[in-house]
């Protein structure tokens, strides 16, 4: 429909036809049935792991957990289904399945590194979330200290009281905590004072622009310096090329991740170099 409006020229409003509405409804129904089928066939939820590299020596001892879904012989990335899953209210169920499959992979490969798990904001309001994940960790012999839950800084702004309760429970169970996209909001530095943070992932836009933009470079340097004083480890995101990698090495980040390091894959191992 947006395409039709564009092709009809500027200052035109595209009014959906009956056929347009039927087409959208059909696509929505197909996606709904597809995701419901995935819940019944949990092996179709595929955990992917993106290596996080130690900037100093190039070793990999940490990974970020991502989710894919098997569909007709290929893998659909999260971006193609996560909005629908959230609208259906099943995103937390998919998260549980993906976490369990990841824990199984950790056990089967004797993985001894850290695993970063990106939380959906909906997980914050589920009272049983931490208890269920703690149970899965026990079932698969995973030490909670090897699991790092991360939430974007944008989400911390929305309900700091709820997040405070969640993080305290999380830490009581032995899990670690990270703030993702650190530096994206206006309350950046307040949150590392407010919460017991173990890691911060620096906003990728600053990292990507640091080699050529003095302001971004100064901001990244400031974050790294403050984190070091507070004994918080830093992870630079969006390492897309050699120039960006050299920049974060010079600025003193502890770890980094991105396509220059390695793309996400089903492989899970530690000890080697990226």
Provide the whole-model pTM: 0.86
Residue 1 has pLDDT above 70, yes or no: no
Is the residue at 267 inside a domain?
Answer: no
Residue 231 has pLDDT above 60, yes or no: yes
pLDDT digits (tens, 9 = 90+) for 45-93: 999 999 999 999 999 999 999 999 998 888 988 888 888 888 888 888 9
Lowest model confidence (mean pLDDT) among 165-174, 190-199, 211-220: 190-199
Q: Are 120 and 95 in contact (CB under 8 A)?
A: yes
Range of the domain at 109: 42-256
Distance of alpha carbon 142 from alpha carbon 145, whole angstroms: 8
Give the pairing type, strands 233-236 and 199-202: parallel
Q: What confidence category does residue 3 fall into, taking pLDDT thresholds of 50, 70 and 90?
A: very low
- Report percent pLDDT > 70 for the chain: 85
Is the residue at 181 inside a domain?
Answer: yes
Residue 116 has pLDDT above 80, yes or no: yes
pLDDT digits (tens, 9 = 90+) for 61-74: 999 999 999 988 88
Residue 247 has pLDDT above 80, yes or no: yes
Number of domains in the chain: 2
Give the pairing type, strands 45-54 and 60-71: antiparallel
Is the residue at 271 inside a domain?
Answer: no
On whether both 112 and 31 belong to a single domain, the answer is no
On whether both 68 and 145 belong to a single domain, the answer is yes
List the alpha helices (DSSP H) in the chain: 2-7, 18-40, 82-88, 91-108, 129-139, 153-158, 160-172, 188-194, 204-209, 214-229, 242-251
pLDDT digits (tens, 9 = 90+) for 134-162: 999 999 999 999 999 998 766 655 677 77
């Amino acid at each position: 429909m947006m395409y039709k409006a564009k092709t009809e020229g500027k200052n035109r409003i595209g009014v959906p036809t009956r056929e347009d509405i039927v087409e959208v409804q059909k696509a929505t129904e197909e996606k709904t049935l597809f995701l419901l089928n995935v819940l019944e066939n949990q092996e179709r939820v595929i955990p992917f792991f993106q290596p996080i590299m130690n900037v100093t020596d190039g070793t990999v001892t940490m990974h970020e957990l991502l989710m894919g879904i098997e569909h007709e012989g290929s893998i659909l990335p999260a971006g193609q289904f996560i909005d629908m899953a959230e609208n259906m209210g099943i995103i937390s169920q998919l998260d549980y399945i993906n976490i369990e499959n990841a824990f199984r992979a950790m056990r089967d490969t004797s993985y001894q590194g850290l695993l970063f798990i990106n939380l959906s904001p909906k997980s914050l309001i589920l009272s049983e979330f931490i208890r269920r994940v703690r149970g899965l960790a026990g079932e698969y012999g995973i030490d909670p200290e090897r699991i790092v839950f991360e939430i974007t800084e944008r989400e911390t702004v929305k309900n700091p009281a709820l997040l405070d309760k969640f993080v305290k429970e999380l830490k009581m169970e032995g899990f670690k905590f990270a703030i993702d996209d650190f530096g994206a909001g206006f309350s950046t530095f307040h949150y590392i004072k407010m919460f017991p943070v173990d890691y911060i992932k620096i906003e990728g836009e600053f990292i990507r622009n640091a080699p050529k933009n003095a302001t971004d470079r100064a901001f990244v340097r400031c974050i790294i310096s403050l984190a070091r004083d507070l004994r918080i480890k830093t992870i630079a995101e969006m390492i897309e090329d050699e120039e960006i990698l050299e920049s974060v090495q010079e600025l003193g980040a502890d770890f980094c991740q991105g396509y220059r390091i390695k793309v996400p894959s089903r492989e899970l191992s530690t000890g080697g170099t990226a």
